[in-house]
């Protein structure tokens, strides 16, 4: 099915907005109800994020490919499966959608709309975590696309739900999400001064993923 570029960009913006509504909104709700128990708040945050990922990838995938992530968009472009001319518009839509999603979550919970995070997320442990988290996300996506495309929404949702717990950074793995979370001083926030390094590490994960995964999931050819 062919969709116009305008519809694809709307899909990417709307999907990323709902992703951030899920991330930030569940973080606020979880923290409000957990009574100071950070583990419970993180569990609620992880489950809600996985749920919204499954929904938006399933419903919007047929329209735009359901990237919702600049790393994923560039990765598909590097594979020749997304036009380079469409990369910048996709990334712009993802970033704008993400910020709007954060503001929508603030509105729903009667918080100040315009915020800046004070949550510090830094250190080599979290930076290396973002490399691994981003590589893992691409591994799941391209492995799923290669072997069983209809399971990609489930695979991504399960991976991110788990990665909230097995990575020290709670697996941002997404530059648009990282930027947007700098605009919320809630459970899911990241200090603006830490955003650039997180994105840099995500780019490293993208580069490593491209070189490793294109070989891992390439078609084997038999010698004549």
126 vs 134: CA distance, rounded Å: 12
Q: Is residue 15 one of the residues assigned to a domain?
A: yes
Q: Which residues contact 218 (CB under 8 A, 6 or more apart)?
A: none
100 vs 105: CA distance, rounded Å: 9
pLDDT category at 52 given cuts 50, 70, 90 is very high
**CATH number of the domain within which 180 lies:** 1.20.1080.10
Confidence at residue 223, expressed as pLDDT on a 0 to 100 scale: 45
Domains held by the chain: number: 1
Is the pLDDT confidence value at 163 over 80? yes
Is the pLDDT confidence value at 169 over 50? yes
Mean local confidence (pLDDT), 100-119 = 98
Q: Is residue 163 one of the residues assigned to a domain?
A: yes
- The reported pTM is 0.95
Please, what is the average pLDDT of the chain? Answer: 96
Q: Is residue 184 one of the residues assigned to a domain?
A: yes
pLDDT category at 222 given cuts 50, 70, 90 is very low
Q: Is residue 154 one of the residues assigned to a domain?
A: yes
Is the pLDDT confidence value at 220 over 70? no
Domain residue limits at 106: 5-216
Is the pLDDT confidence value at 221 over 80? no
Mean local confidence (pLDDT), 187-200 = 98
Q: Is residue 221 one of the residues assigned to a domain?
A: no
Is the pLDDT confidence value at 219 over 90? no
Q: Is residue 224 one of the residues assigned to a domain?
A: no
In the chain, the percentage of residues whose pLDDT exceeds 70 is 97
Structure tokens at 212: 């490793």
Q: How far is CA 188 from CA 11, 30, 34, 106, 170, in A?
A: 24, 11, 15, 12, 9
Is the pLDDT confidence value at 224 over 50? no
Q: Are 61 and 155 in contact (CB under 8 A)?
A: no
Per residue in 134-155, pLDDT (tens digit) is 999 999 999 999 999 999 999 9
Q: Is residue 143 one of the residues assigned to a domain?
A: yes
Q: Is residue 104 one of the residues assigned to a domain?
A: yes
Mean local confidence (pLDDT), 202-217 = 97
Per residue in 61-86, pLDDT (tens digit) is 999 999 999 999 999 999 999 999 99
Report the Cα–Cα distance between both ends of the chain, in Å, rounded: 37
């Amino acid at each position: 099915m062919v969709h116009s570029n305008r519809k694809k960009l709307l899909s990417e913006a709307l999907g990323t907005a709902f992703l951030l509504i899920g991330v930030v909104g569940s973080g606020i709700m979880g923290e409000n109800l957990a009574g100071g128990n950070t583990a419970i708040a993180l569990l609620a945050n992880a489950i809600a994020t996985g749920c919204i990922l499954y929904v938006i990838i399933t419903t919007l995938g047929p329209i735009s490919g359901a990237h919702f992530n600049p790393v994923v968009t560039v990765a598909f472009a590097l594979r020749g499966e997304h036009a380079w001319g469409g990369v910048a518009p996709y990334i712009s839509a993802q970033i704008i959608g993400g910020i709007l999603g954060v503001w929508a979550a603030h509105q729903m919970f009667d918080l100040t709309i315009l915020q800046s995070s004070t949550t510090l997320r830094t250190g080599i442990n979290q930076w290396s975590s973002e490399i691994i988290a981003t590589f893992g996300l691409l591994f799941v996506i391209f492995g799923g696309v290669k072997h069983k495309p209809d399971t990609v929404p489930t695979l991504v949702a399960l991976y991110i739900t788990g990665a909230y717990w097995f990575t020290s950074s709670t697996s941002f793995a997404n530059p648009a999400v990282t930027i947007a979370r700098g605009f919320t001083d809630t459970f899911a926030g990241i200090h603006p001064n830490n955003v650039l390094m997180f994105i840099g590490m995500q780019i490293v994960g993208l580069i490593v993923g491209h070189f490793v995964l294109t070989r891992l999931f390439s078609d084997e050819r038999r010698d004549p």
